[in-house]
């Protein structure tokens, strides 16, 4: 790996961070080390990087804002790619073209300020555009599937193609990209509509107030842990079982919202994972419901 890193440095593909603590790259503030994190300068550098990694049979992954992931406590002995340089945001009439590394919240707030409606649901989601499309992020009965018109992706054959909404297979917290991890989102075109700016701003304020009251935003977390089963709410299921406030190590099921696990005291990744596994088990035993974890579990393979 050391030899490969030296070769990558000579290629000058973009900023590199060695032996990085993943606590600094995830909203859980949890995780082991990453051997190397690379920020490609542009699409050409990204393609050169991936080709080099494939030739050397080195594992790699693209990481957005780390707002929906749980890394294990072990070292990720591969390359983590961050597309932060792909952060262009451009408004054309009722459309916004945003790079995959752009902040979803930033795009949402800029849309509201321009009186464009469709992204109000995203003003409280701390992800990147690419990550939000990957997992079809959503809230308040809306999600990315309603606003994404098309995206540019890098295919496994290292070609750049355009995929339109109907090809992206958006469903509740999933998409084509989540099922095809070797396709990488580079840019998205979002189709919005003209709206009443004052009404939209009031909706955003009301929802912010509701989030502050109902979600444990004072602690590091990765948002909702489980997908809601049909016609059910995970938080209610867990709360009814009496597990609000349940602690494992430095991790805790939130007392504000039982579908949040928070890092309240220097938690290890294994603390969070054990709480996840426990809740899955007791909900299955009590309700015969198989909860699906919404967050991505990374580097847990034995």
Q: Give the Cα separation of 101 and 12 in Å (integer).
A: 20
- Indicate the average pLDDT of the chain: 97
Question: What pTM did the predictor assign?
Answer: 0.94
195-215 residue pLDDT tens = 999 999 999 999 999 999 999
Q: Give the Cα separation of 30 and 65 in Å (integer).
A: 13
Q: Residue 132: exposed, middle, or buried by beta-carbon count in 10 A (0-12, 13-18, 19+)?
A: buried
Which domains does the chain show, CATH number per domain?
2-82 (3.30.43.10), 89-199 (3.30.465.10), 217-298 (3.90.78.10)
pLDDT at 302: 63
61-96 residue pLDDT tens = 999 999 999 999 999 999 999 999 999 999 999 999
118-129 residue pLDDT tens = 999 999 999 999
In the chain, % helix, strand, coil (3-state, to 5) comes to 35, 30, 40
Q: What is the mean pLDDT of residues 142-162?
A: 98
Element (H, E) at 118: none
List residues with catalytic annotation: 173, 224, 294
State yes or no: pLDDT of 137 exceeds 70. yes
């Amino acid at each position: 790996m050391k030899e490969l890193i030296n070769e990558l440095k000579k290629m000058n593909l973009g900023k590199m961070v060695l032996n990085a603590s993943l606590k600094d790259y995830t909203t859980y503030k949890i995780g082991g080390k990453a051997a190397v994190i690379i920020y490609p300068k542009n699409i050409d550098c990204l393609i050169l990087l991936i080709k080099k990694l494939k030739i050397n049979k080195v594992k790699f992954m693209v990481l957005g804002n780390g707002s929906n992931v749980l890394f294990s406590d072990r070292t990720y002995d591969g390359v983590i790619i961050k597309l932060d340089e792909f952060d262009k945001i451009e408004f054309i009439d009722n459309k916004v073209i945003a790079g995959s590394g752009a902040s979803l919240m930033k795009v949402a707030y800029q849309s509201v300020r321009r009186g464009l409606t469709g992204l109000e649901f995203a003003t409280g989601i701390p992800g990147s555009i690419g990550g939000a499309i990957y997992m079809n992020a959503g809230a308040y009965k809306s999600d990315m599937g309603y606003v994404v018109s098309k995206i540019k992706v890098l295919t496994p054959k290292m070609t750049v193609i355009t995929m339109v909404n109907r090809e992206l297979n958006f469903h509740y917290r999933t998409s084509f990209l989540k099922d095809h991890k070797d396709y990488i989102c580079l840019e998205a075109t979002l189709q919005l509509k003209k709206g009443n700016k004052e009404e939209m701003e009031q909706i955003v304020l009301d929802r912010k107030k509701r989030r502050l009251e109902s979600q444990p935003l004072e602690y590091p977390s990765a948002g909702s842990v489980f997908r809601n089963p049909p016609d059910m709410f995970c938080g209610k299921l867990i709360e009814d079982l009496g597990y609000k406030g349940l602690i494992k190590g430095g991790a805790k099921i939130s007392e504000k919202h039982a579908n949040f696990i928070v890092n309240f005291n220097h938690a290890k990744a294994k603390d969070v994972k054990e709480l996840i596994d426990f809740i899955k088990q007791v909900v299955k035993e009590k309700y015969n419901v198989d909860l699906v974890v919404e967050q991505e579990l990374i580097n847990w393979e034995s």
